[in-house]
Chains A and B, each alone.
Chain A
Amino acid sequence: MMVEIVFYVFAATAILSALMCITQRNPIASAFWLISTMLALAGIFVLLEAHFIAAVQVLVYAGAIMVLFLFVIMLLNLSGRVSDIRGRLSWVVATVIAVALTASLIGLRAYTPERLAQEVTGSLQITPDVAFQSGDLARAAAESRGVIGVFAEPLFGTYLVPFEITGLLLLTAIVGAVVLAKRRL
């Protein structure tokens, strides 16, 4: 019960901050509302017993990515300039996207955990509890192996190849950043 109330507080914060983020005129203020959204998301991750993801959400998203955003905003200094995305065509495109997003959100409501388990695993024998480990299982795992251990074991086992590819992605990004910013190479 308490957890639900806290969840709705965080969810409302996240949605309101996101709305403020896209309606603010000042880009710096937008960036701050985005930070607020990310912190609220970190709170929701904690409620899902994903402690490590919550910490990373704050450390990387709210801490690192937003510093980059802030620097870029200050670097370009766009405040006071009107947006290029105006006119009738933009309105049409925006409406279409909004309708499509709302429709898919409503469509997702049709999925009960049972139906999702059946469609994902293809059999009725596998119950939602097994297919989607609930909070209790995650909590037990985190208590026995530590909040990072529970995350690290699959990362270096089942998902080793995607993990190494992430390293390649980071390398690409480093090269990209250098190429973008240096005038003389």
Chain B
Amino acid sequence: MLREYVPVLMIFAVSLGVAVLMVVGSHIFSNYRPTPVKAQPYESGIPPIGDTRDRFAVKYYVVAMLFLLFDVEVVVLFTWSVVFRQLGLYGFLAILIFLMLLVVGLVYEWKKGALDWD
């Protein structure tokens, strides 16, 4: 089974090679003549004020955190779903307890407004 991964490494190497070729190729064929205005970030023609290295909204952090937790949930559900037909009712009850805990978490988030994008 290990050798099935060899083609994955090969396609990884080939696509990486093509990516490098594209960047290098366009670097060779295009001539970059920077001017101070050209090297500015694009802001619809208005001279940019400040840069973007600033703190940003905490809601992105909440989304990433919740994504991490629910991703773990999804992985656990994958393991359950492949053996569900062998485990039958027992497996169903086992996962129901697990799901109940997460549903409580989801309801909590919802009620506290963590899912609102304000």
With A148-B78, A156-B83 in contact, do A170 and B72 touch (Cβ < 8 Å)? yes
A167 in contact with B61 (CB, 8 Å):
no
Contacts between chains A and B (CB distance < 8 A), count = 129
Chain A 162-185 interface mask (CB, 8 Å, partner B; 1/0): 011011101101110110011001
Total interface residues in chain B, CB < 8 Å = 45
Which residues on the B side are within 8 Å of A155 (C-beta)?
Answer: 79
Known: A68-B61, A76-B55. 13 other contacts (CB 8 A): A67-B64, A67-B68, A68-B68, A71-B61, A72-B61, A75-B61, A142-B1, A160-B94, A164-B97, A167-B97, A175-B105, A177-B65, A182-B113
Q: Does B38 contact A (CB under 8 A)?
A: no
Contacts of A55-98 to chain B: CB distance below 8 A:
56, 59-60, 63-65, 67-68, 71-72, 74-77, 79-80
Q: Does B11 contact A (CB under 8 A)?
A: no
Looking at chain A's contact residues, the main secondary structure is: helix
Looking at chain B's contact residues, the main secondary structure is: helix
Q: Which of A68, A75, A174 has the most CB of B within 10 A?
A: A174
Which residues on the B side are within 8 Å of A79 (C-beta)?
Answer: 53
With A46-B5, A79-B53, A146-B82 in contact, do A64 and B67 touch (Cβ < 8 Å)? yes
Which residues on the A side are within 8 Å of B97 (C-beta)?
Answer: 164, 167
A75 in contact with B69 (CB, 8 Å):
no
Q: Does A114 contact B (CB under 8 A)?
A: no
Q: Does B75 contact A (CB under 8 A)?
A: yes
A70 to chain B, nearest CB (A): 8
With A59-B75, A71-B60, A148-B78 in contact, do A77 and B104 touch (Cβ < 8 Å)? no
Q: Does B2 contact A (CB under 8 A)?
A: yes
Binding site for A on B (CB under 8 A): 1-2, 5, 53-56, 58-62, 64-69, 71-73, 75-76, 78-80, 82-83, 87, 90-91, 94, 97-99, 101-102, 104-106, 108-109, 112-114
A177 in contact with B66 (CB, 8 Å):
yes
A75 in contact with B1 (CB, 8 Å):
no
Which residues on the A side are within 8 Å of B72 (C-beta)?
Answer: 60, 64, 170
B98 in contact with A167 (CB, 8 Å):
yes
A1 to chain B, nearest CB (A): 13
Q: Which 6 A-B pairs have the closest CB atoms?
A: A174-B105, A177-B65, A152-B79, A167-B98, A167-B101, A68-B64
Nearest CB to that of B98 among chain A residues? Answer: A167
